């Protein structure tokens, strides 16, 4: 089926923007031209046009000490003021910043004036709690307005936020609190998910008990109304502090390179990396891309990005990009199918959403449910669709454009990463002829290339490794507390070119196609997971002797976690049902890391395929997990081993 449609697309795979769309589009040919003529001048212009500076910068880029870049570094700005106060000062205080929709159906419209006031109140409370410039604040909240308020309040006082996705376990939260030595945790009693309240505060308590002791206070938003444990003196209610605080707060400017946030993401080792982003360059590129890639007309558009603020997409395209641009957006707390499978489309209809940004995995699960569900709602307000997180297969692209978009509106596939901070490769709607399945072209001001393993550029249409060849404003500035790992991971392979970890190829038109990760990082529902991290979790279980994890392709989630586990001989006797053992191990990983890491399958086996030097050959396990014929086994120490394992798995 997929093959047929992909094949049919060979003929019709370019979609020219409609003349009506092109005529009103924000981005024009001059942008790309300006960036080509003077790349740094182009970014300096964007930084001045899109942002308000307390102190103007005179230097655009300092790349004298690669890979440590400095952008606009003699300038000063306040990120929160750029997202809030300046819009109010410009007379836009009554514009809705956030149409917030709770999962149970409660809702709240928050104007720019109201959001500004609440951020000022929260900033005052943070200061009272002793949080100052450069201090770290962990945020562990559901998708409620207070999550956005908290991030902006932290930014406003020059502290550094570390948002931890609410689905992560106590262990994951604890290690993030410890790594950043956070002094404050902002959380909620609980939040709504799939019709139920899931508790957060008890997880925070459990996490703090496991930390080295940096946390001084816990600020708790009341949302779920669930009973929570309480530590007097340490814990404070949001509604008893922030709600009563003064809404007067003079913000000061910080230098452009002042740290804004740390966000943890999985790498090739077991330990997540704290990706560090700073202020001026980051805000410039997220504002620029949010405006030009999504063709934002802030006076009329209603924008909705479905990502959680626990991920980079939520940071850049729920919080900083849209608010810097004065956009009106929808924020939704819950899951797409609660209380009914048309919930998202009901929200699009209710708020007349015009720009929708979501992930291929969501699109594929809607495809599975059938078009009659979205078709029961009026989706005619939509005029642009975006995709992010993993390659979007042409079949899903076409379905998205036709069933959700009504057949003629642009779909932009945006490639970027936690590390890049903002969109790097995407069509520009109104200019680029769209090609389903391809992320297409670097945005203006961004230079990428495809290299072979030895560093030579790949000519023609062959595949290779994606690199960014020039520093960019929203690039990561490092890994928190680990400059060596920063250099090693991204800069060792190709010198001063950034190695993204993705395979890619260029087609005959020069459009870029992403081919997935080339390292031991999996992509499950657009979220990054490390094979090493899940393997060490499995090995930490008392029953496990050895474990190997692979990402196997999955129709809905892109990839799925599949584990192969050898039980300890001492335990194998006791466990009479392998199904029970595999269930126990799945539960264990979910509890240790978070539900997103729960393996789809855990196969209990007696052996793992290894080379003579003892390296596990995951490639062969992936063949097995995907039901393919097993590939070349000649380098195995014991070439018959795959037959034994296959028999056990089937």
Annotated binding residue at 150?
Answer: no
Annotated binding residue at 350?
Answer: no
Indicate the SS3 state at residue 503.
strand
Torsion of Cα atoms, 281 then 163 then 493 then 497, to 10°: -10
From the CB of 548, what's the least distance to ligand WT7, in Å?
A: 21
Tell me if the bond preceding 339 is cis, omega within 30° of 0.
yes
From the CB of 423, what's the least distance to ligand WT7, in Å?
A: 8
Task: Give the nearer residue to ligand WT7 in terms of CB position, either 53 or 491.
Answer: 491
Task: Give the nearer residue to ligand WT7 in terms of CB position, either 273 or 541.
Answer: 273
Look up residue 21 and give its two tokens.
């769309």
Closest CA to 268 of 504, 5, 517: 517
Closest CA to 415 of 517, 322, 519: 517
Annotated binding residue at 310?
Answer: no
Beta bridge partners of 558: 524, 554
From the CB of 519, what's the least distance to ligand WT7, in Å?
A: 9
Task: Give the nearer residue to ligand WT7 in terms of CB position, either 60 or 474.
Answer: 474
Annotated binding residue at 45?
Answer: no
From the CB of 526, what's the least distance to ligand WT7, in Å?
A: 6
Find the angle CA(100)-CA(103)-CA(108) to the nearest 5 degrees.
25
From the CB of 636, what's the least distance to ligand WT7, in Å?
A: 29
In sequence order, the 6+-apart residues with CB closer than 8 A to the CB of 438 are: 413, 507, 511, 512, 513
Annotated binding residue at 502?
Answer: yes
Indicate the SS3 state at residue 44.
helix
Task: Give the nearer residue to ligand WT7 in terms of CB position, either 253 or 526.
Answer: 526
From the CB of 312, what's the least distance to ligand WT7, in Å?
A: 5
- How many helices (H) and strands (E) the chain has is answered by 24, 30
Annotated binding residue at 634?
Answer: no
Task: Give the nearer residue to ligand WT7 in terms of CB position, either 35 or 305.
Answer: 305
From the CB of 74, what's the least distance to ligand WT7, in Å?
A: 30
Annotated binding residue at 255?
Answer: no
Annotated binding residue at 493?
Answer: no
Annotated binding residue at 313?
Answer: yes
Annotated binding residue at 612?
Answer: no
Annotated binding residue at 289?
Answer: no
Annotated binding residue at 650?
Answer: no
Indicate the SS3 state at residue 83.
helix
Q: Identify the residue whose tokens are 């009554």.
A: 94
Q: What is the rounded distance in angstroms from the CA atom of residue 414 to the CA atom of residue 476?
A: 18
Task: Give the nearer residue to ligand WT7 in terms of CB position, either 118 or 502.
Answer: 502
From the CB of 559, what's the least distance to ligand WT7, in Å?
A: 10
From the CB of 338, what's the least distance to ligand WT7, in Å?
A: 23
Task: Give the nearer residue to ligand WT7 in terms of CB position, either 272 or 389.
Answer: 389
Annotated binding residue at 284?
Answer: no
Annotated binding residue at 402?
Answer: no
- Rounded alpha-carbon distances, angstroms, from residue 454 to 98, 127, 383, 464, 641: 48, 51, 44, 10, 33
In sequence order, the 6+-apart residues with CB closer than 8 A to the CB of 155 are: 78, 79, 80, 161, 260, 261, 279
Q: What is the rounded distance in angstroms from the CA atom of residue 310 to the CA atom of residue 410?
A: 27
Q: What is the rounded distance in angstroms from the CA atom of residue 279 to the CA atom of residue 78?
A: 8
Task: Give the nearer residue to ligand WT7 in terms of CB position, either 42 or 415.
Answer: 415
Task: Give the nearer residue to ligand WT7 in terms of CB position, either 262 or 585.
Answer: 262
Closest CA to 12 of 430, 436, 409, 427: 436
Q: What is the rounded distance in angstroms from the CA atom of residue 62 to the CA atom of residue 219?
A: 39
Task: Give the nearer residue to ligand WT7 in terms of CB position, either 413 or 470.
Answer: 413
Burial of 223: CB neighbours in 10 Å, binned 0-12, 13-18, 19+: buried
| CB of 108 closer than 8 Å to CB of 100 | yes
Q: What residues make contact with ligand WT7 under the rule CB under 6 A?
A: 265, 312-313, 388-391, 413-418, 439, 500-502, 514, 517, 523, 526-528
Closest CA to 473 of 179, 35, 119, 105: 35
Task: Give the nearer residue to ligand WT7 in terms of CB position, either 124 or 440.
Answer: 440
Q: What is the rounded distance in angstroms from the CA atom of residue 589 to the CA atom of residue 600?
A: 11
Q: Identify the residue whose tokens are 């389903």.
A: 436
From the CB of 610, what's the least distance to ligand WT7, in Å?
A: 28
Tell me if the bond preceding 95 is cis, omega within 30° of 0.
no
Q: What is the rounded distance in angstroms from the CA atom of residue 531 to the CA atom of residue 548?
A: 8
Beta bridge partners of 413: 387
Annotated binding residue at 413?
Answer: yes
Give binding residues for ATP as ranges: 389-391, 413-418, 502, 517, 528
- Residue positions in the annotated binding site for CoA? 193-196, 313, 525
The binding site for Mg(2+) comprises: 539, 541
Binding-site members are: 193-196, 313, 389-391, 413-418, 502, 517, 525, 528, 539, 541
């Amino acid at each position: 089926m997929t093959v047929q449609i992909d094949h049919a697309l060979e003929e019709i795979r370019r979609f020219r923007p409609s003349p009506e769309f092109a005529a009103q589009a924000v981005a024009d040919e001059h942008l790309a031209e300006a960036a080509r003529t003077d790349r740094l001048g182009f970014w300096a212009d964007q930084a001045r046009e899109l942002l308000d500076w307390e102190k103007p910068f005179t230097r655009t880029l300092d790349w004298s000490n690669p890979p440590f870049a400095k952008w606009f570094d003699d300038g000063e700005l306040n990120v929160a003021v750029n997202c809030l106060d300046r819009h109010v000062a410009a007379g836009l205080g009554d514009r809705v910043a956030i149409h917030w929709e709770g999962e149970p159906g409660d809702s709240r419209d928050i104007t720019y004036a109201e959001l500004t006031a609440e951020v000022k109140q929260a900033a005052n409370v943070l200061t009272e709690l002793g949080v100052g410039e450069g201090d770290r604040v962990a945020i562990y909240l559901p998708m409620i307005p207070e999550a956005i308020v908290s991030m902006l309040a932290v930014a406003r006082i020059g502290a550094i936020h570390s948002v931890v996705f609410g689905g992560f376990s106590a262990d994951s939260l604890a290690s993030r609190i410890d790594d950043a030595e956070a002094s404050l945790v902002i959380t909620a009693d609980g939040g709504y998910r799939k019709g139920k309240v899931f508790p957060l505060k008890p997880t925070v308590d459990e996490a703090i008990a496991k930390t080295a002791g940096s946390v001084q206070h816990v600020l708790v938003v009341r949302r779920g109304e669930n009973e929570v444990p309480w530590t007097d003196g340490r814990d404070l209610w949001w509604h008893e502090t922030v709600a009563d605080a003064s809404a007067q707060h003079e913000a000061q400017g910080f230098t452009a390179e002042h740290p804004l946030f740390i966000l943890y993401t999985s790498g090739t080792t077991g330990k997540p990396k704290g990706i560090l982003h700073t202020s001026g360059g980051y805000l410039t590129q997220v504002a620029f891309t949010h405006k030009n890639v999504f063709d934002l007309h802030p006076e009329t558009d209603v924008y909705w990005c479905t990502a959680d603020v626990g991920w980079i997409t939520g940071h850049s395209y729920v919080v900083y990009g849209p608010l810097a641009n004065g956009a009106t957006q929808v924020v939704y707390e819950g899951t797409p199918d609660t209380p009914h499978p048309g919930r998202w489309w009901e929200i699009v209809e209710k708020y007349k959403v015009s720009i929708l940004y979501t992930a291929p995995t969501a699109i594929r699960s809607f495809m599975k449910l059938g078009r009659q569900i979205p078709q029961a709602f009026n989706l005619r307000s939509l005029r642009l669709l975006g995709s992010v997180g993993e390659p979007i297969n042409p079949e899903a692209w076409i379905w998205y454009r036709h069933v959700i978009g009504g057949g003629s509106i642009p779909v932009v596939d945006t490639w970027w990463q936690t590390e890049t901070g903002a969109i790097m490769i995407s069509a520009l709607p109104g200019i680029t002829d769209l090609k389903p399945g391809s992320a297409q072209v670097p945005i203006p001001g961004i230079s990428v290339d495809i290299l072979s393993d030895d560093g030579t550029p790949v000519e023609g249409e062959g595949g290779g490794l994606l690199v960014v060849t020039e520093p960019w404003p929203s690039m990561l500035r490092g890994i928190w507390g680990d400059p060596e790992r920063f250099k090693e991971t991204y800069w060792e392979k190709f010198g001063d070119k950034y190695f993204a970890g993705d395979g890619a190829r260029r087609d005959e038109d020069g459009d870029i196609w992403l081919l997935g990760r080339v390292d031991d990082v999996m992509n499950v529902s657009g979220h990054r997971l490390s094979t090493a991290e899940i393997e060490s979790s499995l090995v930490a279980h008392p029953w496990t002797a050895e474990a190997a994890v692979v990402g196997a392709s999955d129709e809905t989630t892109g990839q799925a976690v599949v584990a192969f586990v050898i039980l300890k001989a001492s335990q194998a006797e006791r466990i009479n049902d392998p199904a029970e053992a595999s269930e126990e191990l799945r539960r264990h990983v979910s509890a240790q890391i978070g539900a997103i890491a729960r393996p789809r399958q855990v196969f209990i086996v007696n052996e793992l395929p290894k080379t003579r030097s003892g390296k596990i050959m995951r490639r062969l396990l992936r063949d097995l997990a995907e039901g393919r014929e097993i590939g070349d086994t000649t380098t195995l120490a014991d070439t018959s081993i795959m037959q034994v394992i296959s028999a056990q798995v089937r």
